[in-house]
């Protein structure tokens, strides 16, 4: 089985992506990695979770002062390491600063900071991951 790891960077910019060095450990073969800029234009992406269909769910905070958090779903159907488009908003109006996105069975859990108050939101996706 051939193993290839793709390191994807969200909202990191190509200057940052080109400054990453892979290697230094003899067990790591840098030629087995490819660095791509997966998605751009995201304001404060704080948490990511791979979904069962291979898409990536990203928790995005729009700012630090009272703006709600959003969950955006990205796909890479041609497997080139770059998102197919700007993503699909799957849930909005989550409490402020998103700090984590996790999946537990059929549930998606988000952790947010709502002005110093931690909030855990539990979401149940529809039959299609884009359904809210």
The domain ranges of the chain are 5-123
Q: Share the mean pLDDT of the chain.
A: 78
Phi and psi (nearest 5°) for 14? -70, -30
pLDDT score for 29:
85
Whole-Å CA distances, 55 to 48, 60, 96: 10, 16, 24
The model's confidence at residue 77, banded by pLDDT at 50, 70 and 90, is: very high
User: Distance between CA 39 and CA 53 in Å, rounded?
Assistant: 18
pLDDT attached to residue 6: 40
Looking at the whole model, is its pTM more than 0.85? no
More confident residue, 31 or 50: 50
Note whether 118 and 77 are within 8 A (CB). no
CA angle 53, 9, 80 (to 5 degrees): 55
Question: What are the structure tokens assigned to 92, written together?
Answer: 């909005």
pLDDT-derived band at 132 (thresholds 50, 70, 90) equals: very low
Give the model confidence (pLDDT) of 1-43 as tens digits. 333 344 444 444 445 455 666 667 888 888 888 888 899 888 8
What percentage of the chain reaches a pLDDT higher than 70?
Answer: 74
The tokens of 78 are what?
């041609």
Please, are residues 122 and 107 in contact by the beta-carbon 8 Å criterion? yes
């Amino acid at each position: 089985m051939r193993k290839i790891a793709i390191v994807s960077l969200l909202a990191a910019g190509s200057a940052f992506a080109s400054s990453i060095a892979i290697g230094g450990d003899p067990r790591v073969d840098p030629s087995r990695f490819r660095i791509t800029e997966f998605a751009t234009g995201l304001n404060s992406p704080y948490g990511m979770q791979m979904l069962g269909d291979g898409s990536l769910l990203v928790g995005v905070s729009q700012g630090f002062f009272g703006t709600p958090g959003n969950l955006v779903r990205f796909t890479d159907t041609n497997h080139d390491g770059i998102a197919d488009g700007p993503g699909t908003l799957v849930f909005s109006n989550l409490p402020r600063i998103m700090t984590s996105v996790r999946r537990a069975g059929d549930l998606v859990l988000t952790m947010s900071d709502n002005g110093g108050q931690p909030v855990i939101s539990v979401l149940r996706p529809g039959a299609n991951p884009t359904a809210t």
